[in-house]
Amino acid sequence: MVINKIRLENFKKFKLLEKEFSPGINVVKGARNEIGKSTLLEGIVVALFENPKSTSSQLEGLWTWGAANKSRLQIEFHVDGEDYILEKDFNKKTLRLTAQQRGEYWDVPRRVDERLRGLLGTTSDKLFLSTCCIRQDDLRTVQSGKEEASRSMERIITGGAHGITATEALKKLGDLISDLARGLDRPARSMGTIANLQRKTAEMERKLGDATVMVKEAEKLRLEQPLVMQELEKVTEEYDRCQELLDRNKKLQEIEANIRELNEKYETIDKLISQIEQLEKEKQDVVHKLQALRGFDDKTKITGVKDELMKLDAERQTIERDLPKREFELAQVETELKKKSFLSTLASRAALMVGVLLAVAGFCLMPAQGTAAIAAGLGVVLLIMSLWARSQTATLLTKKTELQKRISDMETALRNIGEKEKETLCQIQCATRDEFDHNFSLYRELVEKVDDCEKSQRLLLQGKSYEELVEQRRALVKRLRIEEDRLTDDLRDSRLSPEELIIYQRRTEELKQRKESLERRKLEIEVQLKTAACDPEDIIRLEEELQELRERLQAEKRKLRAYELARDFIAKAKQQTLEAVHEELQQKIQDYFSEFTDGKYQKVQLKPETLECVIFSREKGDWVSPENLSGGTIDQFYLAYRLALAQLIYRDRMPPLIFDDPFYNFDSLRLARALATLKEISKRHQVIIFTLGDTYDAIADRVIELPAA
């Protein structure tokens, strides 16, 4: 991956920063306060790894203080012959990755992460910072990213970023074993499969035992059943007679209540219809006034004209606000040109031509005349001064021309806006803007009155139409007649007095309770007989179910043993295969460290479990930890460690290697060896060095100067 360009907007100290990078070694030189280079470095990391949709409070410190919007970052890079643009807008919480040659893009965070993982080799900022990004005072800090590094090396074994790792396989097997064995060795809230099967087996054994007892109880219930049914029939007959009389009285009361309710509804709806008819009359009067308003007969056209006028007003205000600024800038440029009038004369075409003619004539006549050498010298001097003066005034002249064109374009735009406004007003038969505003105000007032009438009608109608209300009133009249017809002489004759009604209600309630009690007992007997009636076939069925449960229990136990064996096998295989990757990492560290120390330290051992190293010291004749070496040698070792780790993890997908003045402990010899290695690495991978001085200019393919704070 090669970063071509980065653009930061409203990012910390930079309101706008745009810098281009080259393949090879890029040296970024910041101001003495270090703020500029640290901000650019952090901007690269945020542009590559942060999610603009994140709500993390840590992001709040990244925006330019006092800016209206949050940061917008854009990074352009090149991978495998394809140019990409990654854009992140933290104000709009959007991101977009575009493949420029193919025109393909991704704007969903998960899809962008998947694509970046393939292009960059990782989407973990912690892994990137602990391998490819080496900051000042951080050269020896690898610990924070060891977990991600270990996972990445494990994926190398499984064959890709999307394969399942041995660790993940062990976790899945552990989950399966837990699901099977949970609750076997100690109580658990949610029992596992085997514990559940054991519980079900015990329950089935108990159920089979209970079935035998139920057969004896069933005979007693069969003797009680006919007695209960005989009494229930007698109670039901008396209950039905009492309930029928109560129902007739209830029906009588309901009909009389319905007649009262229908009369009340009729009066309410009749009054409502009268109010709606009055509102309709008022609305029609306003509609006639609205139709008399010339040019305001099309609501869509009126809205379009209003929107167009507002748009023209906004354009006019924008231009009128910007025009004085551009005129002021033009005046400043002209003043500056007047101050440099001598340079303008010296930069003229005439001065340039005189210099050229003097130089050419002098050189041509030099063999014949001695004074020709003086003329040639004067011509060369005049030519050089004219070229220098042109370089000094070219920027101002270009800016003056651009400002004059921009001012002319603004004045033309103002005239066009005026013409557009007249054309827009003609669409609605208005001669002036004041006439439109007056008519529009009147139009809006009349429309509001119509809306008020319609709103009042809607409130009265409550979702119904006027015709529905009229029909409802007609239906009420019809229902009243029906209810009155239902009030027959037979119903009137069955009317009970209040005292009689109470007596019948009490007796009916007593009969009801006795009836329900007998029905419950009848049902209990039927249910108990049904559940207790266990013939030999039922016993056989229960025994078969018990046998099936026992077989399932044995099968799940065998499955548990198989999972445990698979877990142990994968754990052993993981250990063996990881050792091979660690040997490769150890060899790469050893090669780099030997190169940095000119062969002084040639043996390195890496502990697979912790990724920690020990180094063989010929001076001490023993293995030592890196911290027991000199300061410069320690930094050489950890530089070798990081380069080897990055090369192993990323392979051909190596991101740019970023260094933030990490070599301050290196003497001149160590620094020369480190830079020679970086120069060789830069032939295959992009290198970016952040610094305050000129130390790295000699090896740089591009030097990037940052503005002072």
Q: What is the dihedral angle through the alpha carbons of 659, 660, 663, 669, rounded to the nearest 10 degrees?
A: 50
Residue 622 confidence (pLDDT) above 70: yes
| Tokens, residue 641 | 């460690």
Q: What is the per-residue pLDDT for 443?
A: 80
Q: How many CA atoms lie within 13 A of 270 on its CB side?
A: 10
Handedness of CA 12, 18, 24, 29 (dihedral sign): negative
- Reported as a single tens digit per residue, the pLDDT across 536-545 is 677 788 888 8
Q: What is the per-residue pLDDT for 157?
A: 43
Backbone angles phi, psi at 689, to 5 degrees: -115, 125
Q: What is the per-residue pLDDT for 162?
A: 44
Average pLDDT of the segment spanning 78-89 = 93
Q: Are 10 and 69 in contact (CB under 8 A)?
A: yes
Q: What is the per-residue pLDDT for 156?
A: 45
Q: How many CA atoms lie within 13 A of 334 on its CB side?
A: 9
Q: What is the per-residue pLDDT for 28?
A: 93
How far is Cα 626 from Cα 616, in angstroms, rounded to an integer?
Answer: 10
Give the DSSP letter of residue 102. Answer: T
Three-state DSSP string of 412-480: HHHHHHHHHHHHHHHCCCCCCHHHHHHHHHHHHHHHHHHHHHHHHHHHHHCCCCHHHHHHHHHHHHHHH
Q: Which residue has the higher pLDDT, 184 or 554?
A: 554
pTM here?
Answer: 0.45
Q: Which residue has the higher pLDDT, 340 or 318?
A: 318
Q: What is the per-residue pLDDT for 130?
A: 75
| Residue 145 pLDDT class (50, 70, 90 cuts) | very low
Mean confidence (pLDDT) of the chain: 82
Backbone angles phi, psi at 124, to 5 degrees: -100, 115
| Residue 348 pLDDT class (50, 70, 90 cuts) | low
Q: What is the per-residue pLDDT for 576?
A: 64
- Reported as a single tens digit per residue, the pLDDT across 158-191 is 444 444 566 677 788 788 888 888 888 788 788 8
- List of residues 6+ apart from 496 with CB closer than 8 A: 245, 249, 504
Place of tokens 């940061």: 71
Average pLDDT of the segment spanning 241-253 = 90
Q: What is the per-residue pLDDT for 474?
A: 92
Q: What is the per-residue pLDDT for 234?
A: 93
Q: Specify the 3-state DSSP secondary structure of 266.
A: helix
Q: What is the per-residue pLDDT for 338?
A: 76
Q: What is the per-residue pLDDT for 355?
A: 63
| Tokens, residue 579 | 């050792």
Q: What is the per-residue pLDDT for 601?
A: 86
Residue count of the chain: 709
Q: What is the per-residue pLDDT for 478?
A: 92
How far is Cα 581 from Cα 557, in angstroms, rounded to an integer?
Answer: 37
Long-range contacts of 267-276 (CB under 8 A, 24+ apart): 269/469, 269/472, 269/473, 269/476, 270/473, 272/460, 272/469, 273/466, 273/469, 273/470, 273/473, 275/460, 276/457, 276/460, 276/461, 276/466, 276/469
| Residue 593 pLDDT class (50, 70, 90 cuts) | confident
| Residue 138 pLDDT class (50, 70, 90 cuts) | low
Most confident of the following: 23-32, 414-423, 507-516, 652-661? 507-516
Residue 304 confidence (pLDDT) above 70: yes
Which CATH number, 3.30.1360.10, 3.40.640.10, 3.40.50.300, 2.40.10.10, labels domain 2-140+579-705?
A: 3.40.50.300
Long-range contacts of 160-166 (CB under 8 A, 24+ apart): 161/117, 161/118, 166/570, 166/571, 166/573, 166/574, 166/577
Residue 567 confidence (pLDDT) above 90: no
Most confident of the following: 365-369, 557-561, 580-584? 557-561
Alpha-carbon distance values, 513 to 144, 226, 235, 481 (Å)? 78, 20, 10, 40
Average pLDDT of the segment spanning 82-108 = 93
Q: What is the per-residue pLDDT for 315?
A: 86
Q: What is the per-residue pLDDT for 160?
A: 41
Q: Which residue has the higher pLDDT, 676 or 607?
A: 676
Alpha-carbon distance values, 425 to 259, 420, 442, 631 (Å)? 63, 9, 16, 81
List the one residue out of 39, 88, 44, 46 whose CA is nearest residue 65.
Answer: 39
Q: Which residue has the higher pLDDT, 354 or 537?
A: 537
Average pLDDT of the segment spanning 661-678 = 85
Residue 98 confidence (pLDDT) above 60: yes
| Residue 389 pLDDT class (50, 70, 90 cuts) | low
Q: What is the dihedral angle through the alpha carbons of 476, 479, 484, 485, rounded to the nearest 10 degrees?
A: 150
Most confident of the following: 288-292, 616-620, 700-704? 700-704
Q: What is the per-residue pLDDT for 57?
A: 78
Average pLDDT of the segment spanning 343-367 = 65
Q: What is the per-residue pLDDT for 399?
A: 81
Q: Which residue has the higher pLDDT, 282 or 578?
A: 282
What residues form DSSP beta bridges with 83? 78
Average pLDDT of the segment spanning 271-297 = 83
Q: Are 157 and 581 in contact (CB under 8 A)?
A: yes
Residue 590 confidence (pLDDT) above 70: yes
Q: Is 544 exposed, middle or buried (0-12, 13-18, 19+ CB in 10 A)?
A: exposed
How far is Cα 2 from Cα 654, in angstroms, rounded to an integer?
Answer: 9
How far is Cα 388 from Cα 355, in angstroms, rounded to an integer?
Answer: 13
Average pLDDT of the segment spanning 627-653 = 81
Q: Which residue has the higher pLDDT, 218 or 602?
A: 602
How far is Cα 133 from Cα 689, in angstroms, rounded to an integer?
Answer: 10
Average pLDDT of the segment spanning 638-649 = 82
Q: What is the dihedral angle through the alpha carbons of 648, 654, 657, 663, rounded to the nearest 10 degrees?
A: 20
Where are the chain's structural domains? 2-140+579-705, 299-427
Rounded to 10 deg, the angle between the 371-426 and 349-365 helix axes is 160
Give the DSSP letter of residue 661. Answer: S
Q: Which residue has the higher pLDDT, 141 or 461?
A: 461
| Residue 520 pLDDT class (50, 70, 90 cuts) | very high
Percentage of residues in the chain with pLDDT exceeding 70?
Answer: 85
| Tokens, residue 600 | 């002084």
Q: Is 558 exposed, middle or buried (0-12, 13-18, 19+ CB in 10 A)?
A: exposed
Q: Are 116 and 97 in contact (CB under 8 A)?
A: yes
Average pLDDT of the segment spanning 270-299 = 83
Average pLDDT of the segment spanning 16-26 = 94
Spacing of C-alpha 208 from chain mean position: 58
Q: Which residue has the higher pLDDT, 24 or 192?
A: 24
Q: What is the per-residue pLDDT for 159?
A: 41
Percentage of residues in the chain with pLDDT exceeding 90?
Answer: 18
